[in-house]
Amino acid sequence: MGDAKPFFSQHVALTRRYFLEAGVAATAISALGSSSEIAMAKATPHSVEQKLAELTGALEPYFTAPDQFRDVSRGTPIPHTLDANGLEAAGLTRDSWKLEVVADPEHPARIRAPLIIRFDELLEIGKQHAVRFPKVMTCLNIGCPLGMGIWEGVPLRELVWRTRPSENLRRLHYYGFHNGDPKQLFRSSLPIGRVLEDPFDLPPVIVCYKLNGEWLDVVRGGPVRIVVPEAYGFKSVKWLTHVVLSNLAHANDTYADGNNDIDSPLKTFAATLQIPSNATAGEPLAISGYAQVGISGLAKVQVSVHPADHEWPAGDLYFDSADWRDATILPPPREWGGALPGGSIPAETLGFDSTTAEPKHWPMRLAKAHWAIVLPGKSQGKYVLRCRTIDDKGAAQPRPRPFRKSGHAAIEQVDIDVA
């Protein structure tokens, strides 16, 4: 990751100052709030500083460079492995791409003007209507996000309205290039209301053609994909070719196969990035990580360390009785990473102040946040470290929606050997 380092040192400097301002450098450690785990009895300010410096090695850039996203693309062949001629024939270049917006032959919505849109026409609409917003792309079935980007495109409703719909429009579904093989079809769907209006201050559902300020690469589903801000990845169909306006009253997503909960919006959860798996007795434990901030926001990240043989009360499924300590949620980084052109947030990105380019709220919803904590040293033995989030409604992870097939939220557990 070419831009990892500068981001990193900036973030670290900021973080260090943050911790110092929190009072760590002061000798009056007792003055710290009880929630601040930097204030441990044994550690001198010097060793805390050292630990914080160590922590910094594993933090990732806030945004993910487009070529650093994890790829879970399907298809035989996977569309982005086609050669130049193949891509052209498949309509997967900006010159050859087109999108049909039509009525569902089986459950037809009444529309007056079915559409075929080409890339330059989409950009033309974008001149007036384009939006961009930060969003973490996460697969419902994978614990760790695939990447964090600023996605840009035209609200899907702009295309829907251009078909001049009049009635019998209850949902739409959409799919992309799939090698002309019905068995490889990957389809997703939305209620029409979600497309026409944005509830709870969410960004619109977009027909997306840029990621982090650059054209959307074919590997990420370009030239054009759908992006649904609050949803798991399967709603954001890649290599988009068809939007179908329908009077069908229910979802018909491909992802409903495989027992997936297809109406599940993004969950809040925490995970570690750096932990000392082999620690020395008495040495403070420096731990860092990230949290995915789902629709319910993020109030806290908490960490606990218990002996591996700790006996949990019967019925304590989610470790509520653990000795949870509040970690520090790190402030916005000074450098955003993600290979953004000029290193800056594109103008008028939703969620950022248009004059200062600072985030309006922190941590940002439907995005990532980073956290760190330094815990008092432990005596020799085997331990298990756990981390969890508390969302803005006060629900502790994996609540309020603990089921695996609605997206990952299981509490992470990591073994620590103290020698």
Q: List residues near Mo ion by CB under 5 A.
A: 139, 233-234
Work out whether 238 is an interface residue with ligand MTE (CB under 6 A): yes
Min dist. Cβ of residue 250 to ligand MTE (A): 20
User: How many residues lie near ligand MTE (CB under 6 A)?
Assistant: 18
Min dist. Cβ of residue 145 to ligand MTE (A): 9
**Strand partners of residue 82:** none
Among 31, 53, 72, 89, binds ligand MTE (CB under 6 A): 72
Residue 5 Ramachandran class (φ > 0 left, ψ -120 to 50 alpha, else beta): alpha
Work out whether 407 is an interface residue with ligand MTE (CB under 6 A): no
Mapped onto helix, strand or coil, the DSSP state of residue 377 is coil
d(CA 290, CA 296): 16
* DSSP state letter for 105: S
Work out whether 97 is an interface residue with ligand MTE (CB under 6 A): no
Min dist. Cβ of residue 141 to Mo ion (A): 6
Q: What residues contact 307, with CB distance under 8 A and at least 6 apart?
A: 381, 382, 383, 384
Among 137, 224, 266, 366, binds ligand MTE (CB under 6 A): 137
Work out whether 63 is an interface residue with ligand MTE (CB under 6 A): no
Work out whether 172 is an interface residue with ligand MTE (CB under 6 A): no
Closest to Mo ion by CB, 245 or 266: 266
Nearest residue to ligand MTE, scored by beta-carbon proximity: 233
**Spatial CA neighbour of 339 closest among 148, 176, 183, 105:** 148
Nearest residue to Mo ion, scored by beta-carbon proximity: 139
Min dist. Cβ of residue 16 to ligand MTE (A): 33
Mapped onto helix, strand or coil, the DSSP state of residue 386 is strand
Closest to ligand MTE by CB, 68 or 304: 68
Among 67, 71, 100, 320, binds ligand MTE (CB under 6 A): 71
Closest to ligand MTE by CB, 37 or 60: 60
Among 222, 229, 233, 377, binds ligand MTE (CB under 6 A): 233
Work out whether 256 is an interface residue with ligand MTE (CB under 6 A): no
What letters, b where the CB count within 10 A reaches 16 and e where it falls short, cover 240-259? bbbbbbbbbeebbbbbbeee
Q: Looking at the chain, how many residues does it have?
A: 419
Neighbour tally for 110: CB within 10 Å: 14
Residues 338/132, Cβ–Cβ less than 8 Å: no
Environment class of 228 (CB within 10 Å of its CB; exposed 0-12, middle 13-18, buried 19+): buried
Would you state the structure tokens that stand for residue 198, as one six-digit string? 């944005």
Work out whether 239 is an interface residue with ligand MTE (CB under 6 A): yes
- The item of Mo ion, ligand MTE, none sharing an interface with residue 239, based on CB under 5 to 8 Å by kind, is ligand MTE
The residues binding ligand MTE (CB under 6 A) are 69, 71-74, 137, 139, 146, 176, 186, 220-221, 233-234, 236-239
